[in-house]
Amino acid sequence: MAKGRFVIGVLLLGALAAPIWGSRAQAAEKPKKTVEKYFVPDVVLVNQDGTKIPLKKFLETDRPVMLDFIYGTCTTICPVLSASFVNLQNRLGTDSRKIRLVSISIDPENDSPKVMKEYMKRYRARSGWDFLSGTRSDIDRVMYAFNAYIANKMDHYPLTLIRYPGDGRWVRIDGLMSASELMEEYRKVSGK
Partner 1 sequence: MTALRRRTPSLRADARRTALCLLASLFLSAGVFAADRKPEPVPMPKEEALRLGERIYREGILPSGEPVMAIVQEDIPVDGTMFSCTSCHMRGGLGSNEGRISTLPTNGDSLYRPYEDTPVPMTTVEKNFKKFRAAHRRPAYTDETLAEAIRLGTDPAGRRLDPTMPCYQMNDRDMAILVSYLKVLSSETPPGVTPTNIRFATVIAGDVAPEDRDAMILPLEAYVRERNSRSRGLQRRVRMRASMEGLNLALRDVSLARWELRGPPGTWRAQLEEYYRKEPVFAMLGGIGYGDWRPVHDFCENHRIPCVFPITDFPVISESDWYTIYLSKGIYQEGEAAARYLRREVERVPETTIVHVYRDTPGGRALAAGFEETWREMGLPSPECRVLRGDEPVTGKLLRSLPAKGAHAVLLLWAGPEAAQALEEIAADPARPGKVFLSYSLWKRNPGTVPDKARDYTFLTYPYRLPREEGPYGNMARAWLAAKKVPLNDRRIATRTYSLIGVMSQAFGKMRQNIYRDNFIDSISVLPDLLYPDYERLSFGPGQRYASKGCYIVQLTHGAVPEIVKKSDWVIH
- Report the interhelical angle of 77-92 vs 179-190 (nearest 10°): 50
Residue 80 lies near ligand HEC (rule: CB under 6 A): yes
Q: Which stretch binds partner 1 (CB under 8 A): 3-11, 53-61, 93-101, 160-168?
A: 3-11
Write the DSSP assignment of 121-189 as a string of letters: HHTTPPTTEEEEB--HHHHHHHHHHTT---SSGGG---EEEEE-TTT--EEEEES---HHHHHHHHHHH
Q: Least CB distance from residue 104 to partner 1, whole Å? A: 13
Size of the site for partner 1 (CB under 8 A): 77
Task: Please report whether residue 187 would count as binding partner 1 according to CB under 8 A.
Answer: no
Taking the least distance from each CB to partner 1, the nearer of 7 and 57 is 7
In this chain, which of 73, 76, 110, 147 binds ligand HEC, going by CB under 6 A? 76
**Cα distance between residue 110 and residue 190, in whole Å:** 34
Interaction partner, residue 93 (partner 1, ligand HEC, none; CB < 5-8 Å by kind):
none
Residues 159, 170: contact at Cβ < 8 Å? Answer: no
Least CB distance to partner 1 at residue 62 (A): 23
Among ligand HEC, partner 1, none, partner that 12 touches (CB below 5 to 8 angstroms by kind): partner 1
Torsion of CA 123, 126, 128, 130, to 10 degrees: 40
Kindly state whether residue 39 participates in binding partner 1, applying the rule CB under 8 A: no
Give whichever of 13 and 192 is closer to partner 1, judged by the CB atom: 13
Q: Give yes or no for a contact between 129 and 89, defined as CB atoms under 8 angstroms apart.
A: yes
Nearer to ligand HEC, 1 or 80 (CB): 80
